[in-house]
């Protein structure tokens, strides 16, 4: 465990101020030191150490297998790199849903062992006791509603959520519950844009969307998806800012050729 402890420039308070003055919040995921360092230097507001590490780093089909140890490893690697952005770490499946005492113990481990600034948790009313207990210990909590990938085995699909009134009403109630409990923000994933805008206008805390339209207070994407490293995942909400799959494949092929041909290393690349 690192002995260093820092306060970063972007705080939960700063995010609330951004919402108040209508400044959109930028958020991306990172799971390792090098990526986090580039993101932080580029000026991102929030770095999420998402349990999507399960998919893009570990190759699992769902986020369910992630453990607290996995998240601590990724969280610590990211936090070590970041001076400015707020660092939020996902509490993985099975570490907070059961009982609030266990939830607090999980969140305390994340905070002590990673030096992140906050934790994120999926769910509303069902987990509110855990959320409240973690908040009462002084740990900032971000909620996550709409499509909640940790519950994939309950719903069986990753399609758009809260299209029907009943589910939309519950989502709005849950968002208010999280705000009233003291959360500093909430992620809304894959819901109708109109619902995203409604929640953002009703809440004081920032609402960050992923597939929740442009009427929310900020946006988050999985960094591997927006960089086009993974070219097999193309939901409508994803905008690709690069095609690193193609660039990396080209570089790897060139390297392989250079090694096979004896072009690498050349005279200036040896001692
Ligand atoms: O784990 C993750 O990357 C997330 C984002 C999709 C919001 O929760």
pTM to 2 decimals? 0.96
Ligand 1 nearest atom to the CA of residue 189, by list position: 7
pLDDT of residue 4: 61
| Region 24-31 average pLDDT | 98
Q: Domains in the chain, start-ordered, CATH in brackets?
A: 3-240 (3.20.20.60), 243-271 (no CATH)
Rounded distance from Cα 71 to ligand 1 centre (Å) = 13
Rounded distance from Cα 224 to ligand 1 centre (Å) = 12
Q: Annotated catalytic, 189?
A: yes
Rounded distance from Cα 251 to ligand 1 centre (Å) = 29
Ligand 1 touching residue 122 (CB < 6 A): no
Ligand 1 touching residue 55 (CB < 6 A): no
Ligand 1 touching residue 187 (CB < 6 A): yes
Say if residue 173's pLDDT is above 80: yes
Mean pLDDT of the chain: 96
Instruction: Give the Cα separation of 167 and 177 in Å (integer).
Output: 15
Picking from 189, 186, 161, the residue whose alpha carbon sits closest to that of residue 176 is: 186
Instruction: Give the Cα separation of 141 and 152 in Å (integer).
Output: 22
pLDDT of residue 3: 43
Ligand 1 touching residue 208 (CB < 6 A): no
Instruction: Give the Cα separation of 175 and 225 in Å (integer).
Output: 27
Instruction: Give the Cα separation of 198 and 29 in Å (integer).
Output: 25
Picking from 128, 108, 145, the residue whose alpha carbon sits closest to that of residue 181 is: 128
């Amino acid at each position: 465990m690192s002995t260093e402890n820092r306060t970063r420039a972007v705080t939960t308070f700063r995010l609330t101020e951004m919402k108040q003055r209508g400044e959109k919040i930028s958020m991306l995921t990172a799971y390792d030191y090098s990526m986090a360092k580039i993101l932080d230097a580029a000026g991102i507001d929030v770095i999420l150490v998402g349990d999507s590490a399960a998919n893009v780093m570990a190759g699992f089909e769902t986020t369910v297998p992630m453990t607290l140890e996995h998240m601590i490893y990724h969280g610590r690697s990211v936090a070590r790199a970041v001076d400015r952005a707020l660092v939020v770490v996902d509490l993985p499946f099975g570490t907070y849903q059961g009982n609030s005492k266990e939830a607090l113990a999980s969140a305390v481990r994340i905070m002590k062992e990673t030096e992140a600034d906050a934790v994120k948790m999926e769910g509303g009313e069902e987990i509110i006791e855990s959320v409240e207990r973690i908040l009462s210990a002084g740990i900032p909590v971000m909620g996550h509603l709409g499509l909640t990938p940790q519950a994939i085995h309950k719903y069986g699909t990753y399609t758009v959520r809260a299209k029907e009134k009943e589910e939309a009403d519950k989502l709005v109630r849950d968002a208010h519950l999280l705000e009233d409990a003291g959360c500093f923000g909430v992620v809304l994933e894959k819901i109708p844009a109109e619902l995203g805008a409604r929640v953002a206008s009703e809440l004081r805390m920032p609402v960050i969307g992923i597939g929740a339209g442009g009427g929310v207070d900020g946006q988050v994407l999985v960094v591997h998806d927006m960089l086009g490293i993974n070219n097999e995942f193309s939901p409508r909400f994803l905008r690709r800012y690069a095609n690193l799959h193609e660039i990396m494949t080209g570089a790897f092929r060139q390297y392989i050729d250079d090694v096979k041909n004896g072009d690498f290393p050349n005279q200036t690349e040896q001692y």
